[in-house]
Amino acid sequence: MTRLSAATAGALPYDRAVVKTGVVHLGIGAFHRAHQAPVFDAAIAAGDPRWGIVGASLRSAGVRDQLAPQDGLYTLVIRDGADERLQMIGAVRDVLVAPEDPAVLVELMASADVHIVTLTVTEKGYKLDPATGRLLTDDPDVAADLESLAAPRTAPGFIVAALARRRAAGLAPFTAMSCDNIPHNGARLRDAVLAIAAQHDRTLADWIAAHGAFPQTMIDRIVPATSLDDIIALHDRTGQCDQGMVKAEPFTQWVIEDRFAGPRPDFAAFGVQLTSAVAPWEEAKLRLLNGAHSSIAYLGGLAGIDHVDGVVALPEARAFVEALWDEAEATLNPPAELDVAAYRAALMARFANPALQHRNRQIAMDGSQKLPQRLVAPIVARRAEGLPVDALALGVAAWMRWQIGRDDAGRAYVVDDPLAAVTADRLAGLDDPADMVRALLSIDAIFTPDLANDTVFVATVTRHLSRLLSEGALATLNAWKSI
Ligand code: CS2
């Protein structure tokens, strides 16, 4: 079987030999390869070779082992129903596995050619309490980085160590750009970095605060995990085995706060929106797209439906999603350029794309980290106005039901979440829905004390959870209109 590599790939539209490493990406999973990397690739192809990427994995060697034999090359497979488009991406020059040699990564991030450090480390990678934004000082990796940065363990720790070296070398800081789905991602990253820096050297923290740049971003592209079937299908089509391939929908959007510490590509030329106000974009995307996604994932997962498109194929599920969007939309202050009605219609079509095979269980992961910005925030906003939250509360109830670890047919699954032990502990021995709701609402990393005491909200969630437990997710959706 022929493996994709520089020797077997067709010609790229640029000479890889002259490409420099201008970007270090922390957390090089499928999302980076399908979202930011194609933009840097386009910049290189347009004649600016400064924007090659070295990716780093902060935990496992999986991506390095996929990409190293392929000289960093991989195919972006863009799927829209029956249409499929292939794009070879050559921007990734190398992949480092941080724990194997943390110093090598720090040294690279401290080099003069590197101007931007991007991150997709998922919500939990920022080591911040999702509800309060405080650094999780009890986390062993955070504690280690607070003790010493000789061999950093966390993404913010690596950034602090590299910025310290840049400062000592008389270099400007790089721009540190979070590309994760967390609200105010730039400010959160900055908070985590400054908290760790201040522990080591107050003057370093001051220098970062004065000269560093942590732009806020909104990132959007549906990028389901690659399956073995995807790799086989691509092989059947191209005759080459590409273990680093990623698949995505055609839609892609990247909104970046125009705040950089140094050079950047001509982002606007490659479809990226630069703006002074990212928050309204981010809030709309988190509450509409991601809020619906999580709710679909838990309800669909409980009903034994594997993929998102299978859920939105059900008219009752669509009705529920529309109701959820009605509720969420009323909490938004959308940017003038965003036509919310058109956005909603396009979103439903994106969810319905049958070629993506986006697994509900993938989206169900890490719910404790996702719920606050996706569902809890719009619920808090509505309840502050005394408004009902029927649909949003069903999303929360479905998440609660999901924590039990068995679907409606009794099939067991692993609750993949950093707080799984906490939710399991709170639910232990309970079977009354009202008790279960009370127990889970008291987790203040997810919910606010006000919500836990809001009798309307508590009653609505309890009603939904009772029905989910007694009749299952499909029946609950079926009954949606009459609830
Ligand atoms: C999804 C997101 O897995 C999830 O939680 O909701 O990854 C979603 O696909 C992206 O945010 C789309 O931009």
Quick: pLDDT tens for 204-234. Answer: 999 999 999 999 999 999 999 999 999 999 9
What is the distance in A from the centroid of ligand 1 to the CA of 219? 9
Return left, alpha or beta for 457; rule: phi > 0 is left, psi -120 to 50 is alpha, else beta.
alpha
The pLDDT assigned to 1 comes to 85
Distances in whole angstroms, Cα of residue 179 to Cα of each of 3, 119, 122, 263: 30, 6, 9, 18
393: CA distance to ligand 1 center in Å? 20
Q: Provide the whole-model pTM.
A: 0.97
User: Mean pLDDT throughout 240-250?
Assistant: 98
pLDDT given at position 123 = 85
Residue 111 pLDDT greater than 80, yes or no: yes
Q: How far is the CA of 361 from the centre of ligand 1 (A)?
A: 12
Binned at pLDDT 50, 70 and 90, residue 65 comes out as very high
Q: Where are the domains of the chain?
A: 21-276, 279-481
Segments of 214-331 assigned E as strands: 217-220, 240-241, 246-248, 253-257, 273-275
| Separation between Cα atoms, residue 397 and residue 464, nearest integer Å | 6
Residues of the chain with pLDDT > 90, as a percent, come to 96
**Could you identify the atom of ligand 1 that is nearest to the CA of residue 358?**
9
**What is the pLDDT at residue 483?**
43
Q: Which residues does residue 97 pair with via DSSP β-bridges, in sequence order?
A: 57
Which residues contact ligand 1 via a Cβ below 6 A? 181, 220-222, 289-290, 293, 362-363, 370
Other beta carbons within 10 angstroms of residue 431's beta carbon come to 9
27 contacts: CB under 8 Å, gap ≥ 6: 56, 57, 58, 119, 120, 121, 122, 125, 155
> Strand 175-178's sheet: what is its strand order?
92-97, 52-57, 21-26, 116-119, 175-178
Tokens 């990564």 label which residue?
105
**Cα 21 to middle of ligand 1, angstroms:** 28
Cα gap 253→218, rounded to integer Å = 8
279-481 classified as CATH 3.40.50.300: no
Tell me the two tokens of residue 2.
């022929």
Write out the two tokens for 232.
């086989």
Nearest atom within ligand 1 for CA of residue 362: 3
Q: Whose CA is nearest to atom 1 of ligand 1?
A: 363
- Which residues fall within 8 angstroms of residue 147, CB to CB, at 6 or more apart? none
pLDDT at 396 over 90: yes
Rounded to an integer, the average pLDDT of 426-432 is 97
Q: What is the mean pLDDT of residues 353-359?
A: 97
- How remote is the CA of residue 227 from the centroid of ligand 1, in Å? 17
Read off the pLDDT band of 481 (50, 70, 90).
low
Burial code of 191-217, b = ≥16 C-beta within 10 A, e = fewer?
bbbbbbbbbbeeebbebbeeebbbbbb
* Atom 5 (ligand 1) nearest CA: 363
Residue the block writes with tokens 């997810």 = 446
Atom of ligand 1 minimally distant from the CA of 290: 6
How many A from CA of 222 to the centre of ligand 1? Answer: 6
d(CA 235, CA 319): 39
Quick one: residue 133, left, alpha or beta (phi over 0 = left, psi -120 to 50 = alpha)? Answer: left
Q: What is the pLDDT of residues 28-64, one digit of tens each?
A: 999 999 999 999 999 999 999 999 999 999 999 999 9
Mutate which of 33, 255, 289, 360 for ligand 1? The one with the most ligand atoms within 8 Å of its CB, which is: 289
- Closest-CA residue to 176 (of 31, 26, 21, 370): 26
Rounded Cα–Cα distance for residues 464 and 402 (Å): 13
Does domain 21-276 fall under CATH 1.20.1740.10? My reply is no
**Which residue's CA lies nearest to atom 9 of ligand 1?**
222
Measure 177 CA to ligand 1 centroid, in angstroms: 18
Cβ atoms of 80 and 140 closer than 8 Å: no
**Cα(400)–Cα(459) distance, rounded to whole angstroms?**
14
Can you read off the two tokens belonging to residue 353?
Answer: 């794309």
Mean pLDDT of 411-430: 98
Atom of ligand 1 lying closest to residue 370 CA: 5
Q: Whose CA is nearest to atom 13 of ligand 1?
A: 220
Contact 375, 396 (CB under 8 A): yes
21-276 and 279-481 share one CATH topology? no
Q: How far is the CA of 386 from the centre of ligand 1 (A)?
A: 30
Q: Please tell me the distance between residue 120's alpha carbon and the centre of ligand 1 in angstroms.
A: 12
What pLDDT was estimated at residue 144?
Answer: 98
pLDDT of residue 139: 96
- The residue to mutate among 290, 311, 356, having the most atoms of ligand 1 within 8 angstroms of its beta carbon, is 290
Give 175's contacts (C-beta < 8 A, 6+ positions apart): 115, 116, 117, 213, 214, 215, 259, 260, 261, 262, 264
Q: What is the pLDDT of residue 443?
A: 96
